[in-house]
Structure 1
Amino acid sequence: MSTTPVRYSADGLTFYSQLACPDVQGKVPGILIFPEAPGVGPHVIRRAAALAQMNYVALAADVHGDGTVFDDPKMMLKSIDLLKGQPERLYQRLQAGLQALAEVPQVDPDRLAVIGYCFGGWCALELARNGAALRGVGVFHGALSSSQEESAGRIRAKVLVCTGASDPLVPLEQVTGFSDEMSAAGIDWQVHLYGGTGHGFTSPEAGSNPRPGFGYSASSDRRSWAELLQFLTEIF
């Protein structure tokens, strides 16, 4: 397994992402990973490496541009609010990451999936809602609402959602609304709800967040990872 930086351009910016490739012959599925709100950090880089060990090519994708990883919450929220307010710019960035993954020589461009964590999970769904050619979408403690009305019908992938029952950013009414939306659109979807689990449950780094309803859960992390691996086996 090898890891290398990947650079590409979109929306007038240069994006610096991290690619993890397995040591295999021939072409294998590609998985795009969108990170938590701060940017590409240790958590998603570890996930990419773990997927490469299982013979997937994984790209941990820069969303903010210039390889930015925010340590100032106010600056981070400013960047996110800007992207949410200009969805066409966000889509350019997300699609550029997918295209960069598809162009990796080891990747089979007909077998692509996207997963995301927190803000990255929302991004993964937004990419799918724009009709991206994906086999699957995996969302981990990401918001399930969308600014794109009646966009569920454009989703061409199966959808996996793993979320905490005590997540203040993804309340149960949002989960129910999402489930109804996916069913109405005829999407092949599944939601796994983990009791006693808050926001950011897949990342040990979330344990340092003092906000109520946030934190790491080893058991929910383990269970959701197992669900993802089963999901990838199914779609590929």
Structure 2
Amino acid sequence: MTIATRTVEYPADGLTMIGHLALPAGTGRRPAVLVGPEGPGLSDVERRHADALAELGYVALAFDIHGGRYLADPEEMLARCMPLLADPERMRDIGHAALKVLSAEPRTDPGRVAAIGYGTGGAIGLELGRDGVDLRAIATVNATTTGRPGEAARIRCPVWAGVGSEDPIMAPAQREAFAAEMQDAGVDWRLVVYGGALHAFHHPPVDQPVVPGVGYHPRHAQRAWRDVVGVLAECLPVTERSAELDEN
């Protein structure tokens, strides 16, 4: 049995977002995952991740952050993302809009949802947690971002974060601040540092300018994906009972 995919349009941040929804085989309700993209925007990397999650039995929505555009020009990307990352309410609005789409899908079990994300998309997932959204897990790569004082105490699920040791954007001081925030808030958190990896180490090269401090690391990309899938398996398992119901 094969998965099904389709594009979904929905409003957020004053734009028409174009997400990628992937559905597992069968007909029953399944746990669901939001998949947030890196700063340039939704790409085939996140779409493939959503498809891979559907193959594992999850409903997955790779959500959009730029109204259907992929911002390959670094200056244009930073001009949009830096104000966004400085505005928790905007990030939460984008996250809630995507979550609304995912929760409305009939195959989704709305009580069993996780958020994973990369860079800006990971920061949005963390802000959903800080907003008190009932998630089963949050997993981020390249997004050891901190929030407003005290709001991490609203996070109701385990948090996993992966980062490259040579990432100049999520540098050691930023990682330490993130760890302190999670620890002080009593969150069940983990941080994995991938030795020798730069920012966006999970993202294969695309047709865009080379940016200092950004680079693909194939081995660590595979390891980080396995780690993310492991977090989901622990915190949001696709139960055998769900598969049995689909078969009968």
- TM (norm. structure 1) is 0.92
Q: C-alpha separation between the residues in 1 aligned to 2:37 and 2:65?
A: 8
Contact 1:207–1:215 (Cα < 8 Å) also in 2 = no
Partner SS, residue 174 of structure 1 = helix
Q: CA deviation at 1:75?
A: 2.3
Q: C-alpha separation between the residues in 2 aligned to 1:53 and 1:95?
A: 25
Q: CA deviation at 1:165?
A: 0.7
Q: How does 1:63-212 map to 2 (within 5 A)?
A: 63-65=65-67, 67-146=68-147, 148-205=148-205, 210-212=210-212
- TM (norm. structure 2) is 0.88
2 and 82 in structure 1: CA distance in 2 versus 1, 3 angstrom threshold: same
Unaligned runs of 5+ in 1: none
CA-based RMSD: 1.8
- Which has the higher mean CA deviation after the structures are superposed, 162-171 or 136-145? 136-145
Unaligned runs of 5+ in 2: 237-248
Q: C-alpha separation between the residues in 2 aligned to 1:38 and 1:211?
A: 12
137 and 109 in structure 1: CA distance in 2 versus 1, 3 angstrom threshold: same
Correspondence for 1:233: 233
Q: CA deviation at 1:85?
A: 4.3
142 and 209 in structure 1: CA distance in 2 versus 1, 3 angstrom threshold: farther
Q: C-alpha separation between the residues in 1 aligned to 2:13 and 2:171?
A: 33
Give the aligned length: 234
* Deviation per residue, 1:5-33 (Å, 9 max, x gap): 11122344322111011112311111001
Q: How does 1:22-101 map to 2 (within 5 A)?
A: 22-65=24-67, 67-101=68-102
Percentage of pairs with the same residue: 38
1:142 counterpart letter in structure 2: A
Q: CA deviation at 1:82?
A: 3.2
Q: CA deviation at 1:54?
A: 0.6
Using CA pairs below 8 Å that are at least 6 residues apart, which structure has the higher relative contact order? 2
Q: C-alpha separation between the residues in 2 aligned to 1:84 and 1:227?
A: 25
